[in-house]
Amino acid sequence: MVSMASELRPVIITGMSGGGLSSAARVFEDKGYFVSQNLPPQLIIELMDLAAEKSSPVDKLAVVTDVRARIFKGSLMDVIDKAHERGYNPFVLFLEARDDVLIKRFDSVRRTHPLQDDNPLHVGITRERAELARVRQAADVIIDSSNLSIHDLRRAIEASVGDLDSTKQHVTIESFGFKHGSPRDADLVFDVRFLPNPYWIEELRDFRGIDAPVSDYVLSRPGADEFVDGVVNLLSSMMAGYKHEGKDFVTVGIGCTGGHHRSVAVSEEIGRRLNERGDVGVSVMHRDLNRN
């Protein structure tokens, strides 16, 4: 039996087939993790125990598992529950994408879905969503890769995960454009389209919210400062409750029309003010900054 004092925090990477699991595995490999892929459920706990031994050369462990492991006895929820029982605090990262995006990805590599059988591809995707529903609900962080390039996905994973060795909770502030769809991986979503749009000011149009001319303009508009203060105070009041419920990672979406100006400037300012408080880890990412 592993001691409750075990410092190992194993990472479980899972989610939809085609959602970006392989890309996530590479991110953790680059961060110095020992990464094992496609282990049967009953072997995942054994690997955690081996890594937790004092003589183990592994101090950071990540396991990638998907719906293909269903052919073995046990389930991923069983693994998560047993890991907690044995004194671990597993971090569960769930990768997903919209159905239409998953279909395009499978078509591009001419692969069949593991749950497709003799049915159309969308049937396999629907079955997989149903099978993984409980795991998704138990995940610490959910990342929707639908609108992300490989490089954007890497940045999203790094931003959302933060420093797993830290005892602080972690907040990711993600700007986005509503015209590209709301982020399905956000715990909270705020709309800053009530602020004037710099796009309609010719000398500001080609700048972005990370640039001083746009940032200064957006944050000086009536209501902007009060909004930022309100979000920071709201998050600060909620984090203790999240902690009590075992939620250490929170993603906040800040949206405007295109994700270029208002949401970016406001996200940067919220991140700055949260950092000043020093009681949570903070990452800021801009999903649609470079999209047309």
Task: Examine the pLDDT at 193 and tell me if it is beyond 90.
Answer: yes
Using the 3D structure, point to which of 100, 129, 161 is the last residue of a domain. Answer: 161
For residue 211, the enclosing domain spans 170-286
pLDDT digits (tens, 9 = 90+) for 239-250: 989 988 878 889
Task: Examine the pLDDT at 4 and tell me if it is beyond 70.
Answer: no
- 110 and 157: one domain? yes
pLDDT digits (tens, 9 = 90+) for 23-49: 999 999 988 899 998 888 888 999 999
pLDDT for 74 equals: 67
Q: Is the separation of the CB atoms in 224 and 153 below 8 Å? A: no
Can you state the percent helix, strand and coil of the chain, rounding each to 5? 45, 15, 40
pLDDT digits (tens, 9 = 90+) for 54-106: 899 998 999 998 887 776 766 888 899 999 898 888 999 999 999 999 999 99
How many other C-beta atoms are found inside a 10 Å radius of the C-beta of residue 126? 15
Measured CA to CA, the distance from residue 285 to residue 292 in angstroms comes to 17
- 18 and 122: one domain? yes
- 91 and 183: one domain? no
Q: Is the separation of the CB atoms in 268 and 208 below 8 Å? A: no
- Please indicate, yes or no, if residue 292 is contained in any of the structural domains: no
- 32 and 98: one domain? yes
- 15 and 47: one domain? yes
27 known ligand binder: no
- Please indicate, yes or no, if residue 116 is contained in any of the structural domains: yes
212 known ligand binder: no
Percent of the chain at pLDDT exceeding 90 = 63
- Please indicate, yes or no, if residue 291 is contained in any of the structural domains: no
- Please indicate, yes or no, if residue 5 is contained in any of the structural domains: no
pLDDT for 165 equals: 67
pLDDT digits (tens, 9 = 90+) for 205-238: 999 999 999 999 999 999 999 999 999 999 999 9
Measured CA to CA, the distance from residue 142 to residue 250 in angstroms comes to 10
How many other C-beta atoms are found inside a 10 Å radius of the C-beta of residue 209? 26
Residue 6: pLDDT band (50, 70, 90) is low
Rounded mean pLDDT, 190-197:
98
- 141 and 174: one domain? no
68 known ligand binder: yes
- 85 and 196: one domain? no
Task: Give the bridge partners for 64, in sequence order.
Answer: 13, 37
pTM score: 0.77
Question: CATH code at 143?
Answer: 3.40.50.300
- Please indicate, yes or no, if residue 111 is contained in any of the structural domains: yes
144 known ligand binder: no
Task: Examine the pLDDT at 272 and tell me if it is beyond 90.
Answer: yes
- 51 and 139: one domain? yes
Measured CA to CA, the distance from residue 273 to residue 175 in angstroms comes to 16
Mean pLDDT of the chain: 90
Task: Examine the pLDDT at 255 and tell me if it is beyond 90.
Answer: yes
- Please indicate, yes or no, if residue 1 is contained in any of the structural domains: no
Query: Could you give the C-alpha distances from 77 to 42, 123, 161, in angstroms and in order?
Result: 11, 23, 21
- Please indicate, yes or no, if residue 277 is contained in any of the structural domains: yes
Using the 3D structure, point to which of 136, 161, 186 is the last residue of a domain. Answer: 161
What is the H or E stretch that residue 212 is in? helix 212-219
pLDDT digits (tens, 9 = 90+) for 156-167: 888 888 777 667
Closest Cα partner for 141 from 122, 169, 117, 115? 169
Rg (CA), the chain: 20
Count of the separate structural domains present in the chain: 2
Using the 3D structure, point to which of 110, 127, 161 is the last residue of a domain. Answer: 161
- 137 and 183: one domain? no
- 79 and 144: one domain? yes
pLDDT for 5 equals: 43
- 141 and 234: one domain? no
